[in-house]
Amino acid sequence: MWTILRDRITTRTTTTMPCSFLAQFHSFPPLRSALFEPSPPPSPHHHRHHRHRHLPPPLSSGFSGGGWSPAIRSFCSTSGCERRAMAGRLESCSSDPSSVSYLTQREAAEIDEELMGPLGFSVDQLMELAGLSVATSIAEVYKASAYKRVLAICGPGNNGGDGLVAARHLFHFGYKPYICYPKRTPKPLYTGLVTQLESLRVPFLSVEDLPPDLSTEYDILLDAVFGFSFHGAARPPFDDILRRLVGMRKSDQTNKKSPVIVSIDIPSGWHVEEGDISGEGIKPDMLVSLTAPKLCAKQFHGPHHFLGGRFVPPPIAEKYNLRLPPYPGASMCVHIGKAPQVDISAMRENYISPEFHEEEVDADPIKQFHKWFEEAVAAGLREANAMALSTAGKDGKPSSRMVLLKGVDEDCFVWYTNYESQKGRQLSENPWASLLFYWESLNRQVRVEGSVEKVSNEESEKYFHSRPHGSQIGAIVSKQSSIVPGRQVLHQQYRELEEKFSNVNLIPKPEHWGGYRLKPELIEFWQGQQSRLHDRLQYRPQEIDGRRVWKIVRLAP
């Protein structure tokens, strides 16, 4: 991630806080020797800079962004011509439309220096962005409902710091993280990260506390051990941990269930540029590259490669000829590389939910719906009122589409649309329909079936004029379900009506636009459970002593 931080207070040639994985061991010589085999002596050209020849090669850890002092930069930087040639060489395969640029170790180090120098980033800012990027990447693919237990294995460098930050965010995302942090870095930044996790009561485990078989206790293993400053052979306890991670992938071949492995920036033990040299290294399921992928990422063949750390400014991208994909919306991560081969038959979720018992539900299904709907809104679900509406005309052929619920009164569900649309025509021929609500993060569905009738024109007028000005014009422009020669036609008609109604306080509601009301004859509440033993409680109306009451039955999943 970052390499060496410079002290902003002292002279620019003074290095005060080594932050790459091996650079930290420069500050702690006994610890360094305890973890790694001796590395080869520096090449002769390093001796020109005798002040720094005792430093390890210019590698960085975790997040590709750190600060090199000017003297160190002079010993590791490349010339402009070399960089341009390198950028051309590192262009991703043009056959892959989502391709990105790859960084060498030296390019990553130079970007680090600029980020933490003239561009004003601090190590804690970058580490926070790194950890958040990793956590959001995990949440994008491995939902907490099925992959709740996360073991973050953290090394003493910045990669370990990224893992600690990611674990904190995962806790707030609904996961249950555990931390194995056997070689702690005694610096305020890292002790603060530990304190934050301890305040959340996140368990810290020693190596001895880890179960013999990691696959029995965890769903995700977060590899935050070695960043791209790794050099030489790992010493205890990390050598044994790496062997266990590699061993789990071999056990996969015997169809033994194994947790997924997520590596930060590079898989631990890989060479930053040459990758898994021995061919016996970790084979992660997900790689989260930071700033830009390193060269070794070209050898990553797992199903999920994400890019995180949404902070690269245009001057950096232009200077290093970086080709980076756009991040979607407000996301901190973006999926890069080719889409993984998907075995549709193997896609499944093992739902984990509170049990849903008959004695817990309201006797009135409308009140029960209100309860679940309010919980969906409170959970922050986007458009919790979205529902699939299924209709069929006189030919009996069904069709479905998503519409928005706009009201639930004492016994009906209400939505609005164009009466001349396909669904409008079908409802005029066959006034029966079904609704389906799906609230994925709550593992819930609600099915509603019943007869349909139009709401009053007064009620449609009232709702129409509550809509935004643009939506009212759009309802007039759109002859829903009819063929249009092109989008430009809709825009032209919209502009004409916008001008026509620019000084009109009340836009007239079209005669062909209004609401429908579905009166339920069946309402079913579905709660996903483990091993497909889902809860299904169904309400059906019955006449008892002249009164309409609801009978609740449980259906087999």
223 in a known ligand binding site? yes
Start-to-end CA distance of the chain, whole Å, equals: 48
486 in a known ligand binding site? no
d(CA 77, CA 49): 13
231 in a known ligand binding site? yes
161 in a known ligand binding site? yes
131 in a known ligand binding site? no
Helix pair 188-199, 123-141: axis angle to 10 deg: 40
393 in a known ligand binding site? no
Residue 217 backbone class (left: φ over 0; alpha: ψ -120 to 50; beta: rest)? alpha
7 in a known ligand binding site? no
The three-point CA angle 397-399-401 to 5° equals 175
Beta bridge partners of 153: 180, 223
Please list the active-site residues: 532
The kind and range of the H/E element at 445 are strand 444-454
364 in a known ligand binding site? no
- SS3 per residue for 99-153: CCCCECHHHHHHHHHHHHCCCCCCHHHHHHHHHHHHHHHHHHHCCCCCCCEEEEE
162 in a known ligand binding site? yes
232 in a known ligand binding site? yes
The kind and range of the H/E element at 248 are helix 238-252
Q: Pick from 310, 339, 304: which is nearest to 326 by CA?
A: 310
309 in a known ligand binding site? no
The kind and range of the H/E element at 42 are none
Sequence-separated (6 or more) residues with CB below 8 Å from residue 553 = 537, 538, 540
430 in a known ligand binding site? no
Q: Pick from 175, 97, 165: which is nearest to 140 by CA?
A: 175
Eight-class DSSP state of 78:
-
Residue 313 backbone class (left: φ over 0; alpha: ψ -120 to 50; beta: rest)? beta
Three-class DSSP category at 91 = coil
Q: How is the beta sheet containing 286-290 ordered, strand by strand? A: 204-205, 176-180, 149-154, 220-224, 260-264, 286-290, 304-308, 333-336
d(CA 145, CA 18): 39
d(CA 345, CA 100): 31
Give the count of beta carbons closer than 10 Å to the beta carbon of residue 245: 25
Give the count of beta carbons closer than 10 Å to the beta carbon of residue 45: 8
Here the tokens at position 556 are 């087999």
Three-class DSSP category at 540 = strand
d(CA 209, CA 206): 5
174 in a known ligand binding site? no
Regarding beta strands 513-527 and 4-6, do their DSSP bridges make them parallel or antiparallel, or are they unpaired?
unpaired
Specify binding-site residues for (6S)-NADPHX: 158-162, 227-233, 265
Specify binding-site residues for K(+): 159, 223, 268
Specify binding-site residues: 158-162, 223, 227-233, 265, 268
